Amino acid sequence: MAPTKAVELVDVPLRKPLWQRNREGRPVVRAELIGHPDTGSQYTSITVTDHPTDEGIRPSIGSVADAYDNALTQCVIGPYKTECIGTTVFHASPYRTISDLEYATAGWVDWYNTGRLHSTLEMMTPVEFEQAHYATLNREPQPV
């Protein structure tokens, strides 16, 4: 969060999940991950478009300022505004500073990415679902 549209605001958060997956021994498999960026000017910069490609992430965005690939991003903005900005679940009082908003946003993003129950994930959190997926892949064959 910043008063300007800095490229670093996009690039740094992209690096965190990649670092986390590598640390957990689950690096991104090239071309299996698709990035769904917004279509703001910072998302079309060379830094932001080259880094995901270098990491093996396929961009969903087709052309510059093309809104057709923007639906997923817009689907996240609504819940963010409702659940984070419109309630006091992620902050105790009205926002008084940018730091208050940053803190609440960080809490919401962490919850959204790791802790929310999701109907398409069999009412598991994204973390639980991914752990179950990898546990299935690493299971020992059972005798019949």
Tell me: do 3 and 59 sit in the same domain: yes
Tell me: do 24 and 56 sit in the same domain: yes
Crossing angle between the packed helical segments 8-23 and 46-54, to the nearest 10 degrees: 10
Q: What is the pLDDT of residue 2?
A: 57
Asked whether residue 6 carries a pLDDT value surpassing 70, the answer given is no
Q: Is residue 75 part of a domain?
A: no
CA distance to 68, 88, 97, 98, 108, per residue, from 2 (Å): 26, 22, 12, 8, 18
Q: Is residue 78 part of a domain?
A: no
Q: How confident is the model at residue 77 (pLDDT cuts 50, 70, 90)?
A: confident
Tell me: do 61 and 115 sit in the same domain: no
Q: How confident is the model at residue 121 (pLDDT cuts 50, 70, 90)?
A: very high
Q: 6 lies in which domain range? A: 1-66
Say how many domains are in the chain: 2
Q: Write the CB contacts of 28 (distance below 8 Å, at least 6 apart in sequence).
A: 18, 21, 55, 56, 57
Q: Is residue 141 part of a domain?
A: yes
Question: pLDDT tens, 32-47?
Answer: 777 766 555 555 555 6
Which is more confidently placed, 3 or 130?
Answer: 130
Buried b vs exposed e over 68-81: b needs ≥16 C-beta within 10 Å? ebbeebeeeeeeee
Q: Is residue 109 part of a domain?
A: yes
Tell me: do 108 and 56 sit in the same domain: no
Tell me: do 91 and 46 sit in the same domain: no
Tell me: do 62 and 2 sit in the same domain: yes
Alpha-carbon torsion 48, 54, 56, 61, what sign?
Answer: positive
Question: pLDDT tens, 85-112?
Answer: 888 888 888 888 888 988 999 999 999 9
Tell me: do 97 and 143 sit in the same domain: yes
Q: How confident is the model at residue 63 (pLDDT cuts 50, 70, 90)?
A: low
Tell me: do 141 and 111 sit in the same domain: yes
Q: Is residue 43 part of a domain?
A: yes
> What is the mean pLDDT of the segment spanning 62-76?
63
Q: Is residue 80 part of a domain?
A: no
Q: Taking the model in full, what pTM does it have?
A: 0.57
Q: Is residue 81 part of a domain?
A: no
